[in-house]
Amino acid sequence: MSIRIQREADLPSREYYASKLDLIEAQVEMLAALLDEIAGSDANDR
């Protein structure tokens, strides 16, 4: 039982994962905006 408790103590907290998820969501939004910009400029080049 003490081994399981120790393993759970070693896991990062929910807040850690929530903050990482926030960062990933922000990066996805930036990537989507960049792709929209590229698609828009590509359509104008034709």
Instruction: State pLDDT tens for residues 15-42.
Output: 889 999 999 999 999 999 999 999 988 7
Identify the three-state secondary structure at position 14: helix
The H or E element that residue 6 is part of is: helix 2-10
Q: Is the residue at 5 inside a domain?
A: no
- Total of domains in the chain: 1
Closest by CA position to 40, among listed 29, 27, 26, 32: 32
What pLDDT shows up at residue 12?
79
Q: Is the residue at 24 inside a domain?
A: yes
Helix/strand number for the chain, H first, E second: 2, 0
Using 50, 70 and 90 to split pLDDT, how confident is the model at 5?
low
Residue 14 has pLDDT above 90, yes or no: no
Q: Is the residue at 1 inside a domain?
A: no
Whole-model pTM: value is: 0.60
Q: Is the residue at 6 inside a domain?
A: no
Domain limits for position 41: 12-45
